[in-house]
A and B are shown apart, each in its own frame.
Chain A
Amino acid sequence: MSRTSVLVLRLAGPLQSWGASSRFTRRTTESAPTKSGVVGLLAAAAGIERSDDVRLAPLAALRFGVRIDQPGTRIRDFHTAHHGVTGASMPLSERFYLADAVFVAAVEGDHALLTSLHDALRAPVYPSYLGRRSCPPSEPVDLGLYEDARIEDVLTSVPWQASAWYRRSHQTPQTLTVLRETAADEPAAAADVLRDQPVSFDAAHRRHALRTVVTAPVPTPIPSVGGPREDTHDPFAALDVLEDESA
């Protein structure tokens, strides 16, 4: 049997939008990244065309999980459009975004496939975006490839990814919410069902099947120290000194 590994992504940026059931003029977002969105991001990086259902299939077969590290705020965007020639107004639409959110997403499956996807993220054919093209990630998304691992373990051990400001102004939560697919040997009784299993991204016949989602809390892993996100300018550090002096 081939080895099973886990590829982990950090999905953070000013805006994200993960639609699962949007139609017509009201474009909503789920409160966490969808499997179809993340598989789409990986497929785009690997250069799989929208109509290529055959190459998409092994990616869609990966087991998916996501952890909510910083839930973010929902904002509504009001969108107008005008006819290119006549200038007449087109139907108004509402688009919803998650602002200020951070997620850890993970896909589990064949080691060789995940290695190639990991490489693709660093030199993608089509650049990555967080659910909508106007939402680029604020930093490179790959958090690493974990060999011989399972989603449950990785999402329990990857350090808490919340931003520095969030960690400063919020108490470290006891637990983080994980939404993941059931394992093959796991009873599906406790799971929710979501129409979020990508079958085809072809614009002519985009299709999604149902997939199971288990919601479970995990104890918050300690954030790592160091790294590029930690050494940003922190004006509050000066305030700490003042407080010490006045104490």
Chain B
Amino acid sequence: MNRIFLDVHALQTVPPSNLNRDDTGAPKTAVYGGVPRARVSSQAWKRAIRTYFKDEHLLDPAELGVRTKKVVELLADRITGLDASVERETALKLADETVKAAGFKTEVPKRKAEQAKKDGSPAPAPESKYLVFLSSRQLDGLARLALEGAADITAFLKTKENKARAKELADTRHSVDIALFGRMVADVADINVDAAVQVAHALSVHRVDNESDYYTAVDDKNTDEETGAGMIGTVDFNSATLYRYAALGVHQLAANLGQGLREDEPRTEPVRRAVEAFVQAFVSSLPTGKINTFGHHTEPDAVVVKLRTTRPISCVAAFEDPVRSDGGGHLREAADRLAAYTFDIERAYGDPGTTLTWVLRVGPATQKLADLGTETGTLRELAAAVGQAVAERLEKPA
């Protein structure tokens, strides 16, 4: 099999902030190289990436998925959307049967049903027992199938052929974020999708001890007799230069996405667009924990992207020995270390014949990284260059 991996490395400085909290409200931490570090969990950052896809309209909404238990209602909406003459109750029935044929168990939520009985309102729609992640395109396919068998849906879906079609519709043409981040449905093993992306927890390149900000707030309506604050409290925070890393199995993404969706586009188009969107979203997304308190809106100071035919390699070990500030921040030393480590690890384990490298960087502190690969001027250029190279490599026979 033709193996293609993309690994993305970023150095990003965040000012005092609390991007990702633990149960006490303090920023998450880890221990690495024997000292405490700031940590942002991979889950938090993946959520930020998904949100970024949506907010920045990086991809057509039809390519994005929705995670819900209300899959029956959602499908019923599609059915009435396609054919307005179908009554709501019929649409729900059609949807329920189709969802079940696709392999999901559904049930009417008990508490809602009892409440509806009390109120005399119509019975609620069945819900799937687990969160189901379906793309818009998948829902459209299922809606059309349901309408095809609308005359007698039970008999229609009883035939082996139609049942298989329902299953297939739920299992092919995965939306981009399902293809990237995977789908877990606990009771339908055969339509699970394994994620093509591996996102590591972001770690600070230096020692970080959380700090605590004690604050008081004035009650504007206090009279002179009532001295003291309206309220007091503390907010925990830290500031950090983070090393962020993700690896993308391009061949796996291609398998998850399927080939060209339209006649008029190249076979590799869906993968190219997904890769571009991922690079852009991974670089620019930011978890929003306490963002209005701290306003930690930053972009990475440096990004290194590698396209390989052998295993992806994390460079986190460059920072196992924590960077110590010389009074001028941590970025310059971090960039120097990342450049030196990348050279070393590539010499020892890399595959210089087939590995392509791109660099996007800001400011003189990141100068040493310039020699690692092709410098790109903007994030958009970086994403386009990576997408182009991925498409070319996919076109090549194994």
Residues of A within 8 A of B (CB): 12-15, 47, 50-51, 73, 75, 77-79, 81, 83-86, 92, 97, 99-100, 121-129, 133-140, 163-166, 169, 202-204, 227-229, 231-235
Contact = CB atoms under 8 A, between A and B. Distances in A.
B66 A129 contact: no
The majority secondary structure among interface residues of chain B is mixed
B67 A84 contact: yes
Given A83-B131, A123-B310, A234-B321, 17 more contacts: A13-B314, A15-B201, A51-B190, A77-B28, A78-B28, A125-B249, A126-B252, A127-B247, A133-B195, A133-B198, A134-B41, A134-B43, A138-B317, A165-B320, A169-B34, A228-B344, A233-B340
Contacts of A139: 313-314, 317, 345, 349
B195 A137 contact: no
Given A123-B311, A169-B34, A204-B189, A138 B43 contact: no
Nearest to A12: B317
Given A83-B131, A84-B67, A134-B198, A99 B344 contact: no
B70 interface: yes
Contacts of A77: 22, 28, 41
B174 to A, nearest CB: 16
Interface of B: 1, 3, 5, 22-23, 28-34, 37, 41-43, 66-68, 70, 131, 133, 186, 189-190, 192, 194-195, 198-201, 203, 245, 247, 249, 251-252, 309-314, 316-318, 320-321, 324, 337, 340-341, 344-345, 348-349
A143 to B, nearest CB: 12
Given A79-B41, A123-B311, A136 B189 contact: no
Given A126-B249, A127-B5, A127-B247, A121 B311 contact: yes
A164 B33 CA distance: 9
Contact of A163 (B33, B198, B251): B33
Contacts of A169: 34
Nearest to B350: A140
Contacts of B252: 125-126
Contacts of A229: 317
A100 B192 contact: no
A123 B337 contact: no
18 contacts: A14-B201, A47-B1, A78-B28, A84-B68, A99-B30, A122-B311, A125-B3, A126-B249, A127-B311, A134-B199, A134-B200, A136-B316, A139-B313, A164-B320, A165-B34, A169-B34, A227-B348, A235-B324
B316 A13 contact: yes
A129 B247 CA distance: 11
Contacts of A137: 314
Contact of B32 (A14, A79, A81, A227): A14
Contact of A228 (B37, B66, B249, B345): B345
Contacts of B195: 133
Contacts of B133: 84
A233 B247 CA distance: 26
Among A78, A84, A137, A231, the most chain B Cβ lie within 10 Å of the Cβ of: A84
B247 A140 contact: no
Contacts of A140: 311, 313, 349
Contacts of A86: 68
Task: Pick from A14, A124, A166 the residue with the most CB of B within 10 Å.
Answer: A14
A13 B32 CA distance: 9
A192 B198 CA distance: 34
Contacts of A232: 317-318, 320-321, 341
B31 A75 contact: yes
A178 B148 CA distance: 63
Contacts of B348: 227-228
Contacts of A75: 29-31
